[in-house]
Amino acid sequence: MPLALYALTAGAFGIGVTEFVIMGLLIEVGNDLGVSISAAGMLISGYALGVVVGAPLMTTLTFGWPRKTTLVALMLIFTFGNLACALAPGYWPLMVARVLTAFAHGTFFGVGSVVATSLVAADKRASAIAIMFTGLTVANILGVPLGTWLGQTYGWRSTFWAVTLVGVLAMAVIALFVPRDTAERNGQGDWRSDLVVLGRPQVLLGLLTTVLSWIGVFAAFTYIAPMLTEIAGFPEAAVSPILLVFGAGLIAGNLIGGRLADRRLVPALLGSLLLLTVVLAGMTFAIHDRIAAVAFVALLGAAGFATVPPLQIWVLDKATGAGQALASSLNIAAFNLGNAAGAVLRGLIIDHGPGLGAIPLVAALAPLMSFGVALLGLRRARNATLTAPATSCP
């Protein structure tokens, strides 16, 4: 794999840290800024909203730019946003800075996915995307725990200063190693030509597949800690080591999902969605036994991220030509929309439903519906192929 691909991984690492590290610093942020923990938690939702809004907005604004220029500019926004977080004098300036930072997220992964696939042979595209997303998984294993420790030891602002430095370094390696694509996105046409992708049913079904599958992932992931302590009976000190197991599952599932998608995309897509459904359903029962609980935490990480490369490649393939970068960015926004919807689902389950222990079982319904949507998309694609007029040879 080319060095440029690992430069994209560095950017993904920084974005992953800044997205998730706030989860471990809610108490510190709340105490320092004089707000409740629930209000501090809205900084997570604000970021997710920024991704959903920023993905189409930034992709449209950077239409016609060389992709390398776009990636460097996005890392500049990311770096400035984290600097603003570190200097924020109060809660609302911090919220605005978080949303600003999130604007870089969707388009970076969207355009980065297009660049990653252009750097390798056709039969390595999903693996290339998986390697770029490895930066996100490593951020969860190493970056988030380190950033949490740094914020708890030296103050939460120190974490954002550190991530600002990561942004500077990522921007430098992208500028150094990602090749310039002068032949593409050179200003021909206008941004409205990208919007044609929104009229393609296959693309819309792909985005819906992504949203539904990740509703299940985030609904279960957010409450792993209380499920481990209140249901499995682990002490609080055991949660962090178990989350390392979850992180190892993320990396393994991501890379395996990419390899399988390169070989046979459709079986990899459908198989990963079914696996995620089975793991979530099985976790409902496994969480009552300590050994089984740890095993299923690892499986949740593996099954969740095994869906990422095939989902991203699926949308890219259905958006060939005009609008590919926009569709790719919207698919990243779809992951975060799944995050937000998962938050609503888990709140309903706990406040008005069967409670904490039922979260995995109810969450399993989301990837199961995602599997059905994917089957519908495949059927529509097959029917379109069968009814397409034959072309004659010259």
Domain assignment present for residue 371? The answer is yes
Instruction: Please state the domain count of the chain.
Output: 2
Q: What pTM value is reported for the model?
A: 0.77
How far, in Å, CA of 307 to CA of 115, rounded? 20
| pLDDT greater at residue 385 or residue 101 | 101
Query: Average pLDDT, stretch 386-394?
Result: 46
Identify whether residues 196 and 342 lie together within a single domain: yes
Query: Average pLDDT, stretch 177-193?
Result: 60
Identify whether residues 169 and 201 lie together within a single domain: no
Q: What are phi and psi of 321, to 5 degrees?
A: 85, -140
The pLDDT confidence band at residue 230, using thresholds 50, 70 and 90, is confident
Identify whether residues 243 and 363 lie together within a single domain: yes
Domain assignment present for residue 387? The answer is no
The pLDDT confidence band at residue 387, using thresholds 50, 70 and 90, is low
Domain assignment present for residue 386? The answer is no
The pLDDT confidence band at residue 391, using thresholds 50, 70 and 90, is very low
| Residue 383: partners with Cβ closer than 8 Å, 6 or more residues away | none
Domain assignment present for residue 281? The answer is yes
Domain assignment present for residue 393? The answer is no
What proportion of the chain, given as a percentage, has pLDDT over 70? 88
What confidence score (pLDDT) does residue 390 get? 46
Query: Average pLDDT, stretch 224-229?
Result: 80
The pLDDT confidence band at residue 392, using thresholds 50, 70 and 90, is very low
The domain boundary, picked from 178, 201, 232, lies at 178
Mean pLDDT lowest for which of 115-129, 163-177, 316-330, 364-378? 316-330
What confidence score (pLDDT) does residue 380 get? 75
Domain assignment present for residue 106? The answer is yes
Domain assignment present for residue 225? The answer is yes
What confidence score (pLDDT) does residue 385 get? 58
Read off the pLDDT of residues 203-215 as tens digits, 9 standing for 90 and up. 888 888 888 888 8
Task: Identify the CA nearest to 359 among candidates 338, 340, 334, 342.
Answer: 342
The domain boundary, picked from 178, 198, 229, lies at 178
Identify whether residues 174 and 197 lie together within a single domain: no
The pLDDT confidence band at residue 105, using thresholds 50, 70 and 90, is confident
Please state whether 63 falls in left (phi above 0), alpha (psi between -120 and 50) or beta: beta
| Residue 367: partners with Cβ closer than 8 Å, 6 or more residues away | 212, 213, 216, 217, 273, 274, 276, 277, 280, 307
Identify whether residues 168 and 47 lie together within a single domain: yes
Domain assignment present for residue 301? The answer is yes
Identify whether residues 67 and 35 lie together within a single domain: yes
Identify whether residues 122 and 236 lie together within a single domain: no
The pLDDT confidence band at residue 54, using thresholds 50, 70 and 90, is confident
Identify whether residues 248 and 143 lie together within a single domain: no
Share the mean pLDDT of the chain.
Answer: 82
Identify whether residues 174 and 204 lie together within a single domain: no
* Amino acid identity for residue 4 in this structure: A
Which residues constitute the domain of residue 198?
Answer: 190-381
Mean pLDDT lowest for which of 94-98, 130-134, 219-223? 219-223
With a cut of 50, say whether residue 125 has pLDDT above it. yes
72: CATH: 1.20.1250.20
The pLDDT confidence band at residue 161, using thresholds 50, 70 and 90, is very high
Identify whether residues 82 and 196 lie together within a single domain: no
Identify whether residues 142 and 208 lie together within a single domain: no
What proportion of the chain, given as a percentage, has pLDDT over 90? 20
Identify whether residues 277 and 151 lie together within a single domain: no
The pLDDT confidence band at residue 394, using thresholds 50, 70 and 90, is very low
Query: Average pLDDT, stretch 43-47?
Result: 83
What confidence score (pLDDT) does residue 193 get? 58
Query: b/e map of 176-194 (b: 16 or more CB within 10 Å)?
Result: ebbeebeeebeeeeeeeeb
Q: What are phi and psi of 230, to 5 degrees?
A: -85, -25
The domain boundary, picked from 139, 155, 178, lies at 178
The pLDDT confidence band at residue 143, using thresholds 50, 70 and 90, is confident
